[in-house]
Amino acid sequence: MSCSACQWTSLRPFLSGSLVMLCFISLFIMYRSDIKYLDFGKDSQFCPAFLCGDKAQIHHPNPKSVTKLDAENDTIVLIWMWPFGYRFELDCNTFDIKRCHLTGDKTLYQKAHGIIFNHGDMNGNLENLPKMPRPSFQKWVWSNMESPANSPRILGLNRVFNLTCNYRHDSNIQVPYGYLLPVTSEDKSFKLPAKDKLVCWIVSNWARQQKRVQYYNELKKYVKIHTYGQAFGHHISNEDYPKILSSCKFYLSFENSIYEDYITEKFYNPLIWGSVPVVLGPPKQNYEDHAPPDSFIHVNDFSSPQKLAERLLYLDQNNAEYMRFFNWRSIFKVKRSEFGREHACKTCRYLQNHKEYQAFDDLISWYWG
């Protein structure tokens, strides 16, 4: 055996081990990259009420949904802060919105046509907003789905943003909590779920000064109300939530604060799961802007909680009249808005259609009055 052959033979175990180690390191780096993408932040188990109700639903985005950037043709929307740590898929195909590049990559700041800032994640002194000068073509978008009562007032917000993205009809980019779409031939015909309860309510946020709490305390004197949620020491899982709603003839869709257009998942969820919402919130006409008048019952139509209870008990005994609350289902179906992604995609579409300069000077007065 030649000397060179001897050297090769002695090196073979070392080289084989090095190759295995190199493969391991490569796989580890790829794994860490995936984990970084799926990181939900230090408070990953937190999920806002308007998104998840009483139970957090952690959403894992699909990395394959991230499209490659075409800087010349795509509208770039930068999500500066993932809303409440919730990361969503960066894809607008669901909404048939094209040429949108959604990203959380802050290195694209100088190229971004719009930047979305979630109000609930802003520091009171706005120190977590960009420090770099704003490009002249770029628009900053203030996004918030909580009511004024549940949103901290930050005095430095005026003359900072160009656009608003909110549930209100007079925001630049309106994203309601839900909406009704026409029924298509692909949709299954509605079948009313079996009912074994008359009135139900699931609630966690409880304060005696809330109008809904005061109304409930009076209403329960005249009709049995099945109660669930943290306020009643009865935690509800994701699986139990739709089961409860569908098993009740009526559901108390009582908002925690009353503002125009503040019609939340508390209204749309019972519509989806086959219950009739009994609503306490903005005026009845405001609800009729979002859903047919025969799809819900408004407490303002009754002179007292006792009169409302009498009506509910009457409908319990008159099935033909009760079933009229579901006539709209032959025409419409309910869709919940997609928190985060729908805001970003509709922002992108707005930016594509509105390239003119815009400014929103007095956000404080507009939102908090």
Domain for residue 40, yes or no? no
- Specify whether 284 is located in the same domain as 348: no
Average pLDDT of the segment spanning 60-80: 75
pLDDT-above-70 percentage for the chain: 82
Query: What pLDDT, on a 0 to 100 scale, did the predictor assign at position 69?
Result: 83
Q: What are phi and psi of 145, to 5 degrees?
A: -115, 0
Helix (H, G, I), strand (E, B) or coil at 193: coil
In the predicted structure, residue 309 carries a pLDDT above the cut 80: yes
DSSP β-bridge partners for residue 334: 180
CA 360 vs. chain centroid, Å, equals 24
C-alpha triplet 92, 94, 100: angle, nearest 5°: 15
Domain for residue 195, yes or no? yes
pLDDT tens profile 254-305:
999 999 999 999 999 999 999 999 999 999 999 999 999 999 999 999 999 9
- Specify whether 319 is located in the same domain as 190: yes
Q: Band of the pLDDT at 57, cuts 50, 70, 90?
A: very low
Distance between CA atoms of residues 167 and 178, nearest Å: 9
Query: What pLDDT, on a 0 to 100 scale, did the predictor assign at position 64?
Result: 47
- Specify whether 209 is located in the same domain as 290: yes
pLDDT tens profile 140-186:
999 999 999 999 999 999 999 999 999 999 999 999 999 999 999 88
Average pLDDT of the segment spanning 347-357: 97
DSSP β-bridge partners for residue 202: 228
In the predicted structure, residue 343 carries a pLDDT above the cut 80: yes
- Specify whether 226 is located in the same domain as 171: no
Domain for residue 39, yes or no? no
CA distances from 362 to 19, 137, 170, 175, 365 (A): 62, 21, 14, 21, 6
Domain for residue 351, yes or no? yes
The chain-wide mean pLDDT, for the chain, equals 86
Distance between CA atoms of residues 142 and 158, nearest Å: 11
List CB contacts of 126: < 8 A, sequence separation 6 or more.
154, 156, 157, 160
Query: What pLDDT, on a 0 to 100 scale, did the predictor assign at position 61?
Result: 53
Average pLDDT of the segment spanning 16-22: 47
In the predicted structure, residue 44 carries a pLDDT above the cut 80: no
Domain for residue 15, yes or no? no
- Specify whether 196 is located in the same domain as 321: yes
pLDDT tens profile 212-268:
999 999 999 999 999 999 999 988 998 999 999 999 999 999 999 999 999 999 999
Distance between CA atoms of residues 209 and 232, nearest Å: 17
For 202, the domain range is 180-336
pLDDT-above-90 percentage for the chain: 77
- Specify whether 184 is located in the same domain as 168: no
Here the CATH number for the domain that contains residue 127 is: 3.40.50
CA distances from 356 to 113, 119, 255 (A): 12, 24, 37
- Specify whether 299 is located in the same domain as 252: yes
- Sheet with 139-144, edge to edge strand ranges: 100-103, 75-79, 114-118, 139-144, 163-166, 173-174
Domain for residue 207, yes or no? yes
Distance between CA atoms of residues 66 and 253, nearest Å: 37
In the predicted structure, residue 356 carries a pLDDT above the cut 70: yes
Query: What pLDDT, on a 0 to 100 scale, did the predictor assign at position 223?
Result: 98
Query: What pLDDT, on a 0 to 100 scale, did the predictor assign at position 289?
Result: 96
- Specify whether 348 is located in the same domain as 332: no
- Specify whether 349 is located in the same domain as 310: no
- Specify whether 146 is located in the same domain as 255: no
Query: What pLDDT, on a 0 to 100 scale, did the predictor assign at position 30?
Result: 37
- DSSP per position, 12-65: HHHHHHHHHHHHHHHHHHHHHHHHHHT---TTTT---HHHHTTS-------GGG
Catalytic residue flag (residue 146): yes
- Provide the token pair at 202: 């699931």
- Specify whether 85 is located in the same domain as 210: no
CB burial readout 320-358, b (16+ within 10 A) else e: eebeebbebbeebbbebbbbbbbbbbbbbbbbbeeeeee
Domain for residue 33, yes or no? no
Query: What pLDDT, on a 0 to 100 scale, did the predictor assign at position 228?
Result: 96
For residues 47 and 53, the answer to whether their CB atoms sit within 8 Å is no
Total of domains in the chain? 2
DSSP β-bridge partners for residue 228: 202
In the predicted structure, residue 60 carries a pLDDT above the cut 70: no
Domain for residue 58, yes or no? yes
Here the CATH number for the domain that contains residue 237 is: 3.40.50.11660
- Specify whether 122 is located in the same domain as 189: no
Of residues 188 and 228, the one with the higher pLDDT is: 228
- Which of 146, 255, 265, 342 is catalytic? The answer is 146
